[in-house]
Amino acid sequence: MSSIYRSLALCAGLGLALGTAAFAPPAQARTDVVVGVDVRTPPPPPRYVRVPPPRAGYVWAPGYWRWSGPAHRHVWVEGYWVRTRPGQRYRPAYWVQRGPGWHFVPGHWAR
């Protein structure tokens, strides 16, 4: 009988080991990293759109020109609402000229 218990204990141990090895915790995105894009083509002038009335608990992220690599051109992205974060301020997306090119900084939260 002890060989049956030994076999069961071995199977349970192997199952536990395999289950532990297969476990992968969920990935967490870093929200404090801002990634930009550099292109040679300047963005078109911004479009001025009427800002909707304020919404409690949200800030308006204005529209911006996004670079579409496959299309090799700027594409307009409409504005949208972003849920507020206590103690932080939303910085809208913008383009800045760097030498002969243009650098895009996506909208992000700052303390």
pLDDT of residue 28: 42
Q: What 3 state SS string does the chain have?
A: CHHHHHHHHHHHHHHHHHHHHHCCCCCCCCCCCCCCEEECCCCCCCCCCCCCCCCCCEEEECCEEEEECCCCEEEEECCEEEECCCCCEEECCEEEEECCEEEEECCEEEC
Count of beta carbons in the 10 Å neighbourhood of residue 42: 12
pLDDT of residue 9: 66
- In angstroms, the CA 17 to CA 21 distance is 6
pLDDT of residue 36: 72
pLDDT of residue 25: 46
pLDDT of residue 30: 45
Distances (CA, A) of 40 to 34, 95, 97, 98: 20, 12, 9, 10
Taking the alpha carbons at both ends of the chain, their separation in whole angstroms is 66
- Tens digit of each residue's pLDDT, the chain (111 residues): 577 767 666 666 556 555 555 554 454 444 445 567 899 999 999 898 999 999 999 999 999 999 998 899 999 999 999 999 999 999 999 999 999 999 999 999 999
pLDDT of residue 74: 96
pLDDT of residue 3: 73
- 79-89 burial: b if 16+ Cβ within 10 Å, else e: beeeeeeeeee
